Structure 1
């Protein structure tokens, strides 16, 4: 989502979400025929001598009224011999009454291979974050893909995310710089393996942004921030583009696995495509009422990736998740500093756990990520701790898919969670099968949450609560049976802002719990 100036504190990231909604961080809907919704006026300029040789320019102007299509395709004829294509755009922002959407318009480009949904013509997207970009064989503005500038009909794509009652007047200037193409860009993709510890718990942030979409950190800063946060892996998830994939290689290392992905930003919610093949583009131009999401999700899975709805209860335009969860592999229930919509996400996730147990369906694991765009947003707060066979892309994704994971606000939080009964033991995401009335001991060991509150929650709700000592370390043991609980999960909460454990939180006095410090996926109890 598009970035804004930050003032710090828990609400800063939500300001980014709000700005992204208002400034058009990736509109969506079915792809229309490659023609503008309203006639565009083209004005060509003669060839001029530029720094790299002669150039030609064309100016496209037009007007969009309220109710314009989600995407407007402006054709541009590219002749042979073009070395670089450069685009700059602007649009008017007339004043509007409070509460009325003002103008906001995204931009991207498709090459001569066309604009078909999921097709090969995609060459870049910057949402509303940039006013200009350029593409050549050797290089491209972040968010865009370097490569040949072949002759044919290209399309500049406008995404009128919001249109004011007065309408939106746009101006797009396309400059074609002639000359010999430079050397081909050579991507440097990260390896799919880092130096791991064998079967172990690995910490990772699966939702991060760079300057290749609407972040202000360059990839070098993100990698450094991940190492400083004590992470073992990260996932690159810039909005609606894989343009950063080819720069991560030198930034990975034996101590940091970098997984490739994308945040797919539609008009009906955002989702994370985790574990994409290098350079793989995932389309976002559809709504829930279309049938494109299930097909797109299936393609991601076909290549071994995961489909994860992001911040599903975010209250801003186009952020709330409206595709359902049937085609998902996990769900992001904790996104950045803990807020009301995270509470809603956890409550909704828990309700789906109950439904999955009742119906005998596969359950949806929870993940937590920082969604960090820029300072002061903290990389790795929160993050997901995954039990994986080793520190490889395939093993980490398998651990997330299986729900062998828990969520932590930082590497300072340590946690172990098991259920033991009938001489058997099960851990997070596993199943313990015992006689229905046999005693089951649920054990949670925590460190790093001073004065925190432990909550043990089953399909009946919270059945046990206990406070941690002042040093934040302790072990809680609670006994149940498989006949009384079909699953048990744990939450570790901070004290409320006034220091009273379990009696409200910094978001307001009406909530009964403090902010989340750690959250586990469930251990399931089956009775014989």
Structure 2
């Protein structure tokens, strides 16, 4: 077994089922004892300790024998954080739990995950710490799951305390999932943020605060995407309403990048315990697609450890090119996405090539002062329903806005026909095509019209922020056309999300459209 696949605690170690990378089951000394006659009420505390070396497996499983009569499991943990040389990662360790049904990848045993956000949690039949799933505390072998995200050169010493509380199981938990429909306006443009966090993962906002923030931002829908858990799904029901559609999802946080699973069946989680080399990602893509959901790589150029996207885009339904306030990461993501458009639509000016990948923008808001809805997606959908919104995003009938104050309309007209964002316009190769962009809400902004050849037209908006730009091309010259609306360079206006400085020829993004595809008619 390779060195990385074997964990040596110096006490007692045994290999367990491999989950992508090796998952090792480790116990500190003998397996935890089970009381011969559990008391009808009271507590029993077990302590698990050990050391993880540099190069430890991604996930380490600590078995806990749960006897009959346990009503609640409470867990707390800590690990050492020795000083490390400058530039060397220090210790960082996540935690979660699996029940007696097992730890198989994508299996039924998942009962919760809090990553590194909490040092303690508890779960019972009727309640659980956010991030964890209430439900039966059945007897059998449970597992505490440690995720040593980073291990210092000195190793990582962990100390896990598990308290088993005995007594009557208590009332059963009743989930309240959100409805799949809100009061819409029929076929219309709807605004929504598809990447949001709550206290159910590493956010500091309660679900009710997120819902209130979405309404304040003028959004029509949101998607709940807490990291690696479905626990928040069951609390959104009372927070949705005729004016706000809430869709259940998850941010799947792997060691090779994060992806959004949008439109999950309520209560279902998507496993994250794999890397790109494990070839497990396609399996979970299929899981999301079976439920009619979308797979969206998130912040693909995020500079933090394990955030950069390493799985490729072939199986994705869209890509998040704008994440929170505009940064160089987003600039790189848009450039990569635009290059993909040119590849997908090349050959005969769009008459061949695979389907193109739509762009999305989301706030990824966790807590104040991060702004819910900066940015968000404006989606043309048949109505304000889960399926209609997902269909619009999947088709690319959407554009990205920094706030609800920004309005935009992009059309292409030629040979007596017209197409809008995410649609196709088929015309004779040399027939004139007039591209019209109408914008409001971006004072002094710059409009950029971009094709597979790059930027083909640039024009400034007046100080009032409203204007119309018209540009002419042909399908023989452009396989697609898309629009960007930028703020002035080095705009330090609060709320505009500027972190770019003045070294680019344009400022931070205010709005970005998906393309209109231009196709040449067969003669």
Instruction: Measure the CA separation in 1 of the matches of 2:204 and 2:370.
Output: 11
Cα distance, 1:53 vs structure 2:
3.0
Instruction: Measure the CA separation in 1 of the matches of 2:341 and 2:213.
Output: 34
Could you tell me which residue of structure 2 aligns to residue 19 of structure 1? none
Cα distance, 1:315 vs structure 2:
1.1
CA shift in 2, pair 1:402/1:434, >3 Å: same
* Maintained 8 Å contact 1:413/1:518: yes
Instruction: Measure the CA separation in 2 of the matches of 1:354 and 1:484.
Output: 12
1:187 equivalent among 175, 186, 211: 175
1:208-236 CA-to-partner distances (Å, cap 9, x unmatched) read 00000000000000000000000000000
1:151 equivalent among 129, 139, 151: 139
Could you tell me which residue of structure 1 aligns to residue 20 of structure 2? 30
TM value normalised by structure 1: 0.91
Could you tell me which residue of structure 1 aligns to residue 349 of structure 2? none
Cα distance, 1:496 vs structure 2:
1.0
Cα distance, 1:506 vs structure 2:
4.8
2:377 equivalent among 378, 384, 387: 384
Could you tell me which residue of structure 1 aligns to residue 506 of structure 2? 513
* Maintained 8 Å contact 1:114/1:154: yes
Instruction: Measure the CA separation in 2 of the matches of 1:421 and 1:256.
Output: 38
Could you tell me which residue of structure 2 aligns to residue 360 of structure 1? 353
Could you tell me which residue of structure 2 aligns to residue 15 of structure 1? none
1:435-485 CA-to-partner distances (Å, cap 9, x unmatched) read 000000000000000000000000000000000000000000000000000
* Maintained 8 Å contact 1:40/1:63: no
Instruction: Measure the CA separation in 2 of the matches of 1:394 and 1:191.
Output: 12
* Maintained 8 Å contact 2:489/2:501: no
Q: Which consecutive unaligned segments of at least 5 residues does structure 2 have?
A: 1-17, 347-351
1:302-350 CA-to-partner distances (Å, cap 9, x unmatched) read 1110000000011111000000001100000000000000000000000
Instruction: Measure the CA separation in 2 of the matches of 1:457 and 1:327.
Output: 26
Could you tell me which residue of structure 2 aligns to residue 497 of structure 1? 490
Could you tell me which residue of structure 1 aligns to residue 443 of structure 2? 450
Matched, 1:466 2:474: no
Instruction: Measure the CA separation in 2 of the matches of 1:240 and 1:45.
Output: 31
1:54-73 CA-to-partner distances (Å, cap 9, x unmatched) read 11111000000000000000
Give the number of aligned pairs: 495
Instruction: Measure the CA separation in 2 of the matches of 1:313 and 1:160.
Output: 23
1:488 equivalent among 472, 478, 481: 481
Matched, 1:373 2:366: yes
2:221 equivalent among 213, 226, 233: 233
1:406 equivalent among 399, 414, 439: 399
Could you tell me which residue of structure 2 aligns to residue 131 of structure 1? 119
Instruction: Measure the CA separation in 1 of the matches of 2:166 and 2:283.
Output: 40
CA shift in 2, pair 1:526/1:216, >3 Å: same
Instruction: Measure the CA separation in 2 of the matches of 1:31 and 1:122.
Output: 18
Cα distance, 1:118 vs structure 2:
0.2
1:300 equivalent among 288, 291, 299: 288
Name the SS of the counterpart of 2:278 in structure 1.
coil
Cα distance, 1:516 vs structure 2:
0.1
- Higher alpha-carbon deviation: 509-518 or 422-431: 509-518
2:312 equivalent among 324, 331, 335: 324
Could you tell me which residue of structure 1 aligns to residue 515 of structure 2? 522
Q: Which consecutive unaligned segments of at least 5 residues does structure 1 have?
A: 1-27
Instruction: Measure the CA separation in 1 of the matches of 2:492 and 2:134.
Output: 54
Cα distance, 1:509 vs structure 2:
2.5
1:152-209 CA-to-partner distances (Å, cap 9, x unmatched) read 0000000000000001000001110001101100000000000000000000000000
Name the SS of the counterpart of 1:169 in structure 2.
strand
CA shift in 2, pair 1:40/1:446, >3 Å: farther
1:71 equivalent among 55, 59, 63: 59
CA shift in 2, pair 1:40/1:274, >3 Å: farther
Cα distance, 1:32 vs structure 2:
3.8
* Maintained 8 Å contact 2:412/2:516: yes
1:90 equivalent among 62, 74, 78: 78
Instruction: Measure the CA separation in 2 of the matches of 1:33 and 1:431.
Output: 48
